[in-house]
Amino acid sequence: KAGVTQTPRYLIKTRGQQVTLSCSPISGHRSVSWYQQTPGQGLQFLFEYFSETQRNKGNFPGRFSGRQFSNSRSEMNVSTLELGDSALYLCASSLSGGDSQPQHFGDGTRLSIL
């Protein structure tokens, strides 16, 4: 079956703009989590959605937001982009997001801020 699909694969934006990233989970998976990966900070948890509700949130400013649709697809939005937002953004899905369920990761969206 198809894996986790993230679009677009690459994005270039300038400071102050906003961006929306999309994630389609594996069919049947209802939990979607987002992570930011940078060389300096590694992989950091952004938030998790389950049944269209944000279930958990990491330590990121309010400029980072997300949502989940009834078909479990999720979007992540970053407003007022800063240079430090340049990163690989990863989406992961699991059946129900329980603590014992492994996350399945997408290829990521590489966001570059000029």
Partner 1 sequence: AQSVSQHNHHVILSEAASLELGCNYSYGGTVNLFWYVQYPGQHLQLLLKYFSGDPLVKGIKGFEAEFIKSKFSFNLRKPSVQWSDTAEYFCAVNAGGNTGKLIFGQGTTLQVKP
**Residue where the block lists tokens 């938030």:** 47
Q: What is the DSSP letter of 112?
A: E
* Min separation Cβ 16 and partner 1, Å: 30
Which of 81, 35, 74, 24 has the alpha carbon at shortest distance from 57? 35
Q: The tokens of 30 are what?
A: 């209802």
Told to check if 102 binds partner 1 by CB under 8 A, we report yes
Region 48-67 residues binding partner 1, contact defined as CB under 8 A = 48, 55-56, 58
14 in contact with partner 1 (CB under 8 A): no
Residues binding partner 1 (CB under 8 A): 3-4, 31, 33, 35, 42-45, 48, 55-56, 58, 90, 92, 94, 97-108
